[in-house]
Amino acid sequence: MSDVNKTAAADSPVAGGIGTKEQDQAAAGSQVSGNSSLLPTYARYPIALVKGEGSWLWDDKGNKYLDFMCGLAVTNLGHAPQRIKEAIVKQLDQLWHVSNLFHIPNQEDAAKLLTDNSSADAVFFCNSGAEANEAAIKLARRYHQKVAGTGRYEIITFAQSFHGRTLATLTATGQEKVKEGFGPLPEGFRYVPLHDIDALEAAITDQTAAIMMETVLAEGGVIPVEPAFLQHVAKLCKEQGLLLIIDEIQTGMGRTGKLFSFEHYGIEPDIFTLAKGLGSGFPVGAMLAKGHLIEAFGAGSHGSTFGGTPLAMSAVKATIDTIVGDKVPARAAEMGDYLMAQLREKLAGHPLVLDIRGKGLMVGIVCSGPIAAALIAEGQKRGLLVVSAGPNVVRLLPNLLVTREEIDQAVSLLAGIFADHTATA
Ligand SMILES: *Cc1c(COP(=O)(O)O)cnc(C)c1O
């Protein structure tokens, strides 16, 4: 396959994601052309992707790549899916944007599709994951201050979590790295280690408004939350009047084998957030809430110029119709099991592989050291695109319609990459 990309940049500096120190340093000096007009916020790989179709991407030199990262967990129905494209093109001919001061039928329809297919009762549309989490944080505070009358404002989140890059969401994020140099940070966030019930109970005060968490720590290393722990968190929230906020931005829209990952746990969050896969690549985010929270967000309390435009909503509607209608989550579960089984068969026992973990089509290969960046670079040379989740974890996020043959191909490439890495290590 491809043999360009002789020198890949440092580890994944993914949009919204978290890099290492080394990535930052690489970012500072990694402009391919050397005269970019862009701020150097990403340590970009020396590849320019220009075309995509299904599971495949092509660069500007004609090299072809099997895409197992989906930029990042976004193009869940593959690149340029026909049905979504047709819906967007049809809407392009009718109306692109109107103000939220007017009724937007497409937005109503998209919200209804989401509430019909989840435990939520109402939806606020925005444009990104961070904005969706920002809205969740605001709703939790406002509910406690304006509806419940408790005045509580603190949000508890977990170590190694990732919730976004705005000031409030980077503060919510349980990783110091994203906060450096951005102080003073907003007040009212506390962090506890995942799976530590005692620490969680100790962190709850009479000011605690909500607990906010992912069901699989995605950027944090593809760490699935133990069912007993999440169920205990949900119980604590009920007992103590705290809101449970689930960040489904990466896990949602079928990625883990259910439409929303909290369905695996038999719990219902008060609030959950979506973005990445929601528009199949069209930028859009959403915050979904249960009925008792609705009155906290009355007219004038929150808003977004671009949130829920007719154009974005055409992508959302077609995406949900496809995912629900074609039973895509069940397919993701099946293909996830297959991917996991193949990886275990071909990589287990390899001296560099400590664990293979994940849920559905969100899979992490846990390595014995900080070698993810080198493995990813080698993947790019061989025509396979994967991403890291911290320095030790290679993360696989194929699209949810990936075929067995494509999985076989990816696993075989990975097996070769691991084998050769050992040989040269
Ligand atoms: C990507 C991500 C975000 C941030 O989304 P953006 O669209 O980049 O703002 C928040 N939470 C999780 C779990 C994510 O994976």
Enumerate residues 6+ apart whose C-beta is below 8 A from 310. Answer: 91, 94, 95, 96, 97, 98, 104, 106, 107
pLDDT of 9 above 60? no
Give CA separation, 121 vs 86, 102, 115, 289, in Å.
Answer: 29, 21, 5, 6
Q: Is the CB of 245 under 6 A from ligand 1?
A: no
Residue 26 is predicted with a pLDDT of 45
Enumerate residues 6+ apart whose C-beta is below 8 A from 275. Answer: 128, 129, 131, 132, 249, 284, 285, 286
* DSSP-derived secondary structure for 335-362: HHHHHHHHHHHHHTT-TTEEEEEEETTE
Q: Could you report the per-residue pLDDT of 243-287, keeping only the tens digit for each?
A: 999 999 999 999 999 999 999 999 999 999 999 999 999 999 999
d(CA 220, CA 82): 33
Q: Could you report the per-residue pLDDT of 75-87, keeping only the tens digit for each?
A: 999 999 999 999 9
Q: Is the CB of 164 under 6 A from ligand 1?
A: yes
pTM, full prediction? 0.93
Q: 288 pairs with which residues across the strands?
A: 123, 272
Place of tokens 């360009």: 4
d(CA 315, CA 276): 12
Average pLDDT for residues 119-129, to the nearest whole number? 98
Q: Which atom of ligand 1 lies nearest, measured to the CA of 276?
A: 7
Average pLDDT for residues 102-106, to the nearest whole number? 98
Atom 5, ligand 1: which residue's CA is nearest?
Answer: 129
Q: Could you tell me where the beta strands, DSSP code E, fall in 111-247?
A: 122-126, 154-158, 189-192, 208-213, 216-217, 223-224, 243-247
Task: Supply the DSSP symbol for 143.
Answer: I
Place of tokens 């691991």: 418
* pLDDT above 90 as % of the chain: 90
Residue 2 is predicted with a pLDDT of 40
Cis peptide bond upstream of 398, omega within 30: no
Residue 267 three-state SS: coil
Of 95, 75, 91, 73, give the one whose Cα is nearest residue 279. Answer: 75
Q: Could you report the per-residue pLDDT of 280-311, keeping only the tens digit for each?
A: 999 999 999 999 999 999 999 999 999 999 99
Distance (angstroms) between ligand 1 centre and the Cα of 274 equals: 9
- Is residue 362 within 8 Å of 340, Cβ to Cβ? no
Distance (angstroms) between ligand 1 centre and the Cα of 291 equals: 25
pLDDT of 341 above 60? yes
Distance (angstroms) between ligand 1 centre and the Cα of 250 equals: 7
Of 309, 301, 257, 248, give the one whose Cα is nearest residue 275. Answer: 248
Q: Is the CB of 163 under 6 A from ligand 1?
A: yes
Q: Is the CB of 129 under 6 A from ligand 1?
A: yes
Q: Could you report the per-residue pLDDT of 363-376, keeping only the tens digit for each?
A: 999 999 999 999 99
Distance (angstroms) between ligand 1 centre and the Cα of 162 equals: 7
pLDDT of 22 above 90? no
> pLDDT-based confidence at 33, cuts 50/70/90?
low
Q: Which domains does the chain show, CATH number per domain?
A: 3-78+329-424 (3.90.1150.10), 82-325 (3.40.640.10)
